[in-house]
């Protein structure tokens, strides 16, 4: 039996594979507060994977003038909306070359809430399938 790829969750790709045309892509920006989490890109990738994106996505961490940011690019607008909803991101206008853009601050409280949600989701999934789930990323 051939798997229908239209409904298979997509995995993370490299930045250049996804961001070939920013005007057709969707961006969620995490402004990382110092000492909030050691590996914000790992945490966000785990959250995005758990949300089950249908399109491609990529993450890029970079330093901006006042803090580090993790740029989360999506080929599918609903995937960007899912992440934005999960972290309560709001519309921003700092990156005008993108089709849509939202942003949020990734501080200790948000990081812990994401970790807690991932752990709860993994436990729920394990209970449903009867199999242990992989551990969530470290804080």
Q: How does pLDDT run across 85-112, given as a tens digit for each residue?
A: 999 999 999 999 999 999 999 999 999 9
The residue written with tokens 């909306």 in the block is 81
Tens of pLDDT, residue by residue over 46-59, are 999 999 999 999 99
Contact yes or no for 40/111 (Cβ under 8 A):
yes
Question: Does pLDDT of 134 surpass 90?
Answer: no
Residue 2 pLDDT: 44
Torsion of CA 121, 126, 129, 131, to 10 degrees: 150
Output helix, strand, coil percentages for the chain, rounded to the nearest 5: 40, 20, 40
Residues in contact with 125: Cβ distance below 8 Å, sequence separation at least 6, in sequence order: 133
Q: What is the pLDDT of residue 23?
A: 84
Predicted pLDDT at 7: 47
Contact 116, 50 (CB under 8 A): no
- What are the residue ranges spanned by the domains of the chain? 10-129
Q: How confident is the model at residue 4 (pLDDT cuts 50, 70, 90)?
A: very low
Residue 106: name the closest of 64, 69, 63, 53 by CA.
69
pLDDT at 111: 96
Q: 48 in helix, strand or coil? A: helix
Judged against a pLDDT cut of 90, whether residue 16 lies above it is answered with no
Question: Of 21-30, 42-51, 71-80, 129-138, where does mean pLDDT reach its minimum?
Answer: 129-138
Cβ(69)–Cβ(31) under 8 Å? Answer: yes
CA distance 31 to 71: 9
* Pairwise pLDDT comparison (24 vs 112), residue with the higher score: 112
Residue length of the chain: 139
Mean pLDDT of 75-83: 96
What average pLDDT does the chain have?
85
């Amino acid at each position: 039996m051939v798997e229908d790829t239209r409904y298979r969750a997509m995995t993370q790709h490299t930045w250049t594979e996804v961001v070939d045309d920013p005007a057709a892509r969707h961006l969620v920006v995490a402004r990382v507060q110092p000492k909030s989490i050691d590996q914000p890109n790992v945490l966000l990738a785990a959250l995005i994977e758990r949300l089950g994106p249908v399109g491609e996505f990529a993450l890029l961490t970079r330093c901006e003038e006042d803090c580090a940011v993790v740029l989360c690019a999506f080929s599918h607008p609903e995937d960007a909306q899912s992440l934005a909803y999960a972290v309560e991101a709001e519309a921003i206008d700092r990156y005008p070359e993108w089709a849509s853009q939202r942003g949020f601050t990734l501080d200790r409280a948000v990081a812990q809430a994401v970790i807690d949600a991932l752990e709860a989701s993994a436990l729920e999934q394990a209970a449903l399938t009867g199999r242990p789930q992989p551990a969530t990323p470290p804080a």
